[in-house]
Structure 1
């Protein structure tokens, strides 16, 4: 299964200490976007200091205007408040959705915890309707746990 192969590669990226944290996070984004066909935009958002907002970190995919997202707004902002995974099979059915691109059909957001605090998240958009399964969730929880180890 692709996720098992990617886990080993994720670990290698995270452990490559000669690169900066941002360089490693970008490599993680690239790896996911290149190897999982329905991951069309992959990026990290992090709590912006002591503000109640998220700031865009490393990402791959189409450029976005959404570099700052207030807590509670959109899927990412809701995860910042709920501290829970959010899988959206159909973004058009969400009232509190921030559209980044008209091609996006689905989204998955998994929080990153450091010392029990939600400090950020991985955000993945897909141009495929309803592509995410429990396996995606478990895999991305693994990715977030590895990322947390270097933050």
Structure 2
């Protein structure tokens, strides 16, 4: 399924009045995981700005021990500080990478802004080296902007 075909499906999930916010986020994770072959782990982390930590939210994929990540640590923690997208073509080449699984080869993290504040992020791991393009970034920015309307 193309990113353009996924746009209305993401919007439809966010407009569903029978699901809680977390159920909607999980549905989006499942949709992305099912629709894009190289999205092997899809999840959300949410910021606790007082503690300067990220906390795992809904996700689809292998279980992770990384349920709390300090700001600045790993790719997700760096995005919590930089407020910018981070595309990692090869996680083995990153010094500040938190290994989730030996199967993960690349990662993309896009921040989720609500009223100009970075409240969290979508995190996607792939078992493929360097699969993420500018189109992935633009699509995930759309996903985050659509989700931001839930807050």
Mind listing any 5+ residue stretches in structure 2 that lack a counterpart? none
The whole-number CA distance in structure 2 between the counterparts of 1:104 and 1:58 is: 19
Aligned residue pairs: how many? 151
Q: Superposition pairs for residues 1-151 of structure 1, below 5 Å?
A: 2-48=2-48, 50-151=50-151
Instruction: Give the CA RMSD over aligned residues.
Output: 0.8
Give 1:49 deviation, angstroms: 5.7
The whole-number CA distance in structure 2 between the counterparts of 1:32 and 1:124 is: 10
The whole-number CA distance in structure 2 between the counterparts of 1:135 and 1:47 is: 26
Runs of 4+ in 1 over 6 A off after TM superposition: none
Distance change >3 Å, CA 130–CA 5, structure 1 → 2: same
Question: SS where residue 4 of structure 1 aligns?
Answer: helix
Give 1:17 deviation, angstroms: 2.0
The whole-number CA distance in structure 2 between the counterparts of 1:70 and 1:99 is: 15
In the superposition, the TM-score normalised over structure 2's length comes to: 0.98
Give 1:48 deviation, angstroms: 2.5
128-137 vs 45-54, which moves further: 45-54
